[in-house]
Amino acid sequence: MVITFIVDSYKDASNGITMTTRRFARVLKEHGHTIQVVAAAVDTDGIVTGYQLGVRKTPVLYQVSKTQGFIFAKCNKKILKEAILRSDIVHFLLPFKIEKYAKRLCDKYNIPSTAAFHLQPENITSTIHLNKYEFVNKYIYKKFRKFYNKFEHVHCPSNMIAKQLVENGYTAKLHIISNGVSPIFQPIRVERPIELKDKFIILMIGRYSVEKRQDLIINAVKNSKYEKNIQIILAGKGPWKSHLEELGSGLTNKIIFGFYTEDELVRVINMADLYVHASDAEIEAISCIEAFSCGIVPIISDSPISATNQFALEVDNLFKKGDYNDLLNKIEYWYENDELKKKRSLEYIKFGKQFALENCVKRLEDVFEEVIKTKKGK
C-alpha cells in the first residue's frame, strides 16, 4: 500500500503525535509499504516520502503552539492534491485546516481515508488556562466532531477516549489500538553516575505543561521524610519548565531536567526506582508503558480524563487526582517496600508485552486493508 499520513507537525520529537506518526511510519515501511507524510516540514530519514507545506505563522496561535512543541502547516492545495492522488489510503492525525481540506479531496477523488483521535481538548484548554471550564472542553469536542464524523473508521489509543467520543456524539466505528511501545524499551543494567548511586530516583516523562502536573511530584517529595535521599528526574521540555524549577528550588537534590533521545531515555528509565505519571489529562501516555516495560513500577493519577490509570495493576499503583499528599503516601509506601516493588516490577514487564509496537501497527494495518477493500466494493 501507499499510505499517506497527514499531520501538521512532524519534525519536533517532543510532540507525542509526531512520535506516534514516526513510529508507525517506520514499522509500516518495514512491512513493505510506501509511506508518505504531508506536514509543515518533513525530516524523511530515508523512511518516508515527504511533502512539505510550510509553517502557518498565524499571530499569537503560532507563538503559543510552538511553546508546546507544535506548529500548524500551511494549506498548500497543490501539494496536498499531489500526495493524495498517489495514495492507496490517507490517514489523518489531527482535525485542523489542512486535514479538513485534504479530507474533501479524498472524498472528491474517491481515495479511502481514516482518522485517529490523538488531541484531547484538555490539552488545548490547559495551555490557555481554561481547563477547569468543562463547557469549553465540550465545545472543542463538538468542533472536532464535525471533522471526525466524516469518517467511517477512527483509531482511538484507549478505551477512555473512545468512551469520551461516544458520549460526545461521534458516530464512526472506533478501533481501540494502543500507540504501541518500541522493543528498545526493556530492562537493561545501567551504571548510575556517582552522584546518583545512593539516591532513590523518581522519574516522570512528559511535556512541561500545566495538565501534566509535575508540580505534584515536587510537592510530594518536598514533604517526604525521605526528601534528602530522593532525586527527581523530569524528562521532556515545554513552557512550564521555569515554574517547575522555581517550585523545586528548595529541594536537597536539584531536579534533573532533560530532553533525551530514545536510546538515552531507555538508560534513564532503567536508572529509576519509581515512575510517576501525575497528568490530569492523557489519551494514553506511551511514556508510562515505556517505563513499566523496563520494569519500573508506576504510580498513576486516577483522573477520569486520563487513560493512563488503566495501567494500574493494583490500587497501590494509583493516587488521587491532584492530591500530592496521597501521592506522597504512595511514594513512601514503595520506598519502604523494596521486595514488593521487585515482585511488581516482574509483573509489569510481563504486562507490558501486550503493547508491543509491532502488534499495534499490524492491527492498524488491518483497519487500512478493511477500509480499502470496502471502498473498492462500493
Q: Residues 206, 212: contact at Cβ < 8 Å?
A: yes
Strand 298-301 versus strand 49-52 pairing type: unpaired
Residue pLDDT, tens place only, 199-227? 999 999 998 989 999 999 999 999 999 99
Determine whether 33 is exposed, middle or buried from the number of CB atoms within 10 Å of its CB (0-12, 13-18, 19+).
middle
- Domains for the chain: give ranges and CATH numbers: 2-180+356-377 (3.40.50.2000), 194-354 (3.40.50.2000)
In our burial notation (b when 16+ CB lie closer than 10 A, e otherwise), range 224-246 reads: beeeeebbbbbbbbbbbbeebee
pLDDT at 70: 76
Conformational region of residue 41, where left means phi above 0, alpha means psi within -120 to 50, and beta covers everything else: beta
Q: Residues 22, 10: contact at Cβ < 8 Å?
A: yes
pLDDT at 128: 67
pLDDT at 190: 94
pLDDT at 244 over 80: yes
pLDDT at 285: 87
The phi and psi torsions of 192 (rounded to 5 degrees) equal -75, 150
Average pLDDT over residues 112-130: 84
pLDDT at 68: 65
Which has the closest alpha carbon to 333: 325, 196, 304? 325
Identify the residue whose cell numbers are 508491543: 356
Identify the residue whose cell numbers are 502547516: 73
Cα–Cα distance measured from residue 43 to residue 195, given in angstroms and rounded to the nearest whole number: 37
Beta bridge partners of 301: 319
Cα–Cα distance measured from residue 72 to residue 53, given in angstroms and rounded to the nearest whole number: 10
Average pLDDT over residues 265-287: 95
pLDDT-derived band at 133, boundaries 50, 70, 90: confident
Cα–Cα distance measured from residue 49 to residue 4, given in angstroms and rounded to the nearest whole number: 9
Helices assigned H by DSSP within the chain: 16-30, 61-67, 77-85, 97-108, 121-127, 134-148, 159-167, 214-222, 241-247, 262-271, 286-293, 324-336, 338-352, 357-377
Residue pLDDT, tens place only, 153-164? 999 999 999 999
Which has the closest alpha carbon to 367: 154, 197, 192, 183? 154
pLDDT at 354 over 90: yes
pLDDT at 121 over 90: no
Q: Residues 89, 368: contact at Cβ < 8 Å?
A: yes
Residue pLDDT, tens place only, 49-85? 999 999 988 877 767 777 666 788 999 999 999 999 9
Residue pLDDT, tens place only, 334-346? 999 999 999 999 9
Residue type, 31: H
Judge if pTM exceeds 0.85: yes
> What is the number of other CB atoms lying within 10 angstroms of the CB of residue 369?
14
